[in-house]
Amino acid sequence: MRPGSFRFKLMMLYFWTIVIPTVIIVFFLPNYFQRLMIQHNTQYAESVAASFTKNIETYLNELERLTLTPYLDSDIMRALKYKASLEDKAVLSPIEKLRMDDALNEKFHNFIRMSRKDISGTTLVTPDGSIYAKSTDLTSPVDGYPFSSTEWYHKAMEANGSAVFIGSHKQDYLKQPLPTDVFSVARMIRDPDTASHLAFIIADADTQVLKNMIQDFRFHVSSTIAVLDDEHQVVYSSAELTDSMLGSVGESFAQLTDDKDTYTVIRRDIGSSQWKLVFFCRIQRSSIS
């Protein structure tokens, strides 16, 4: 076929007007729009993750404030100082001891009543073994519970007065614990004057608040949202995490391929807790180039 012939020109016209546009429409445009959709979904997920992170941080801040309440009340601090001092306790009359216990019991209950409804309570442990548990359902602590052998107690001791954030756990120190797990903030209470140890306090929140927060949100692609503590243990997850998902938490890559699925991975640090919110957005297989 001669280059200048009519047939050749007709075939070239067909090639440029039919074949090339068809190839672009069939192969390139769908991929372009699918990539555009992935980019849009990722940006949307980024904003959602930022919003979730802020909400979770609000609850952790509330728990942290609750653990600081002893410092805000002079009666509570005076009672804790007497509880920690063997010499002072020896000279207290029965009425004075009762007043000290009332200060620790009633004042804490008032603080709980003024906090969020999802804050389930606080537990205060003094050096003499006394336990003051205040919860929304007015349950009492388990008699003889070995607080000093718990992980949160040791973490609070090592933190030496700073807040420590405790991941998902059971309230096995209460006689009528919540049916669901809780997450907590704990700290050692110290004498502001002498820096001596006065007590340990832990404030709990129901993990149901995380479930409600995430379930109220509707995302238009398949996704899994997880909150993990500083040891990468799951505090709450909207679906079970695979080993690959758990292993990716401490990494920095933006995509994860797990078995048959590929995910865009978004990570957010939650305040000063060293916890993470991780958002796994599944990418449709047809959109992967």
Query: What's domain 68-209's architecture?
Result: 2-Layer Sandwich (3.30)
Residue 113, token pair as written in the block: 């009543």
Question: Is residue 182 helix, strand or coil?
Answer: strand
Q: Which amino acid is at 97?
A: K
Span 147-154, average pLDDT: 90
pLDDT of the residue at 287: 42
**Count of residues making up the chain:** 289
pLDDT of the residue at 166: 95
**Which ranges of 226-267 would DSSP assign to H, the alpha helix?**
243-247
* Domain locations in the chain as residue ranges: 6-58+218-287, 68-209
CATH class of 6-58+218-287: alpha beta
Residue 3, token pair as written in the block: 């280059």
* Domains 6-58+218-287 and 68-209 alike in fold: yes
Span 147-176, average pLDDT: 92
Angle (CA) 279-284-287 rounded to 5° is 115
Nearest one of 121, 238, 268, 235 to 167, comparing CA atoms: 235
Could you tell me if 256 and 245 are in contact, meaning their C-beta atoms sit under 8 angstroms apart? yes
Kindly report, residue by residue over 63-75, the tens digit of the pLDDT: 999 899 889 888 8
Residue linked to tokens 């216990």: 101
Question: Is residue 111 helix, strand or coil?
Answer: helix
Kindly report, residue by residue over 192-222, the tens digit of the pLDDT: 988 899 999 999 999 988 888 887 776 666 7
pTM of the model: 0.79
Between 29-67 and 208-215, two packed helices, what is the crossing angle to 10 degrees?
Answer: 150
pLDDT of the residue at 103: 76
User: Percentage of residues in the chain with pLDDT exceeding 90?
Assistant: 24
